[in-house]
Structures are given as structure tokens and as C-alpha cells.
Amino acid sequence: MHPRDKTIVVTGGANGIGLALARRFKHEGAKGIAIADLDGAKVQTAAKELGGLGVQCDVSREEDVRKLVAQAEKQLGPIDLFCSNAGIAVSDPDFENAASAPDAVWERNWRIHVMAHVYAARALLPGMIARKRGYFLNTVSAAGLLSQIGSGTYSASKHAAIGFAEHLAITHKDHGIKVSVLCPQAVRTAMLGTSENDAGKSAAVDGVLTPEQVAEAVVQGLTQESFLILPHPQVGQYILKKASEYDRWIGGMAKLRRGMLPRMHKFVTK
């Protein structure tokens, strides 16, 4: 699927990867673009820049997602591509305790990284099934395929996001509905730049991409209708190594974490 002449919705679209996607879709000739974000002022600025629809939306609330879909379809027509891109990053409060995050943080990660995808599918599937076409692009992260040192909530919720995307793709393949998951490592966005500590930067070992480079990978992946979109191609090899030598892979990740510990403790004791 190419973005040309398509009606597209991007959540988390006021900055970072989401804004880069919306700009690229506009450049590629999208028919209509709806940008959704929790930040109402920024989303209106982005929408004005792109001549699109701006909607303030908290994707952790199903009611907000349903309203977003209804508003976009009312003003722009049936949605061809829904990009579920919003996300957060929160580190473990105690780097020496994998279960140290409180329930509220687990719940917030679950709702934003998993349920937001479910809410979008619930709102869109009936129409897509009737039309026998439609596309979901879910931004997940390489952490969903591998792991994220220093954040149990991020790692677990992103793994669950992959699981739901697989189920979505399998269940609705015969309905003509496509699914892609975007799984980059480090990207130069506010999420990386304002990371609470160096744990979030473990993904940067293979370099930091710009949001525009990620958007280029997305256009290529959508055109090829690839389930996995990997802006950092090394991730594909890591998946193979993880599957073939799981114990060795865990050992390697533990070694990487061990090398980061001095920086983690320095942050905590400041």
C-alpha cells in the first residue's frame, strides 16, 4: 500500500516519529491526514502545517479513540491507514529490581502500548471488513522483539503489542486487511533525548536514526506490505540469534546491562 490518495490517521502525531510520518505521507500525496495527540496546542500547530485535521486525543481512553475515528471519517472519509504511534518510556525506579515499577505505571504502559491498538481495531474493523480493505501500522519498538534494559513496563507491554498485532494480521488477512509493526531502536526524539537515565539509551548501540529516516523505512515497508518494518536492519539478525541461542542471548543482554550499571548508579546518586 502506498500513501498516495489515502486517508490516514496518525496518533502521537504532534512531534517525533508521528509528525515525521504525517509530513512524509503529505509529501507522498495522501488524500487526507488526521493528526491526534495528547497535546492539544501542538496537534493544532501540526495540523495547520499539513492542512489536515487536528484532534486532541488520549489513546489510553477508548472513548477518545472512538471519537477520533468518528471525527476523521466524518471530515475525511473512510480511513485507509491508521497509525497507532503514541507511546511513553518509563524506567524501573530501582535498577536492581525488575518488578519495582508501581501498578499505576504498569497500567499506564498497558493502556497506551497495548489497549490503544485494541481500541483502534475495535473502532475500525467493522468498516474495514465491510470494504474488504484497510491497514494498521502499529509503532511498537525493537524492545517488543528483543527487550529494553532498565524498563520492565516498556519491555512487557511492547511484547504484548507484537502479540496483538500478529493476532490482528492472522485473523483479518482473508478480509483484505493488512498490518505492519514499526520496530526501530533508538530514534532522535524527545523520548530518547529526555530519557530519565542511560537505561533508555541501551537501544542506541546501533546508532540513532532521525524521525525522517524512520518515515522513509515506513513508506518502503508499507509499499512492500511487510509485517515487520525494521529501520535498524540489525534487529532482524538479533531476532534470529535470540531464537536460536536464547540462553546466550540473555547472557549477552545481561553483559550489556552490566556495562551500563556505573552510569545508572551515577544517575541515581546525583
Positions annotated as catalytic residues are: 154
Residue 24 burial (CB count, 10 A): 18
- Give the type of residue at 114: V
29, 108, 113, 131, 245 from 119: Cα distances, Å: 27, 15, 11, 19, 36
Q: Decide if 61 contacts 37 (C-beta within 8 A).
A: no
Sheet bearing 228-229, strands edge to edge: 53-56, 32-37, 7-11, 81-84, 134-139, 177-182, 228-229
Comparing CA positions, the residue from 203, 190, 211 lying closest to residue 256 is: 203
Residues 222 and 143: their CA atoms lie apart, in Å, by 21
Locate 143 and state its grid cell: 524492545
Locate 168 and state its grid cell: 490482528
Q: In 3-state terms, the chain is what percent helix, strand and coil (to 5)? A: 55, 15, 30
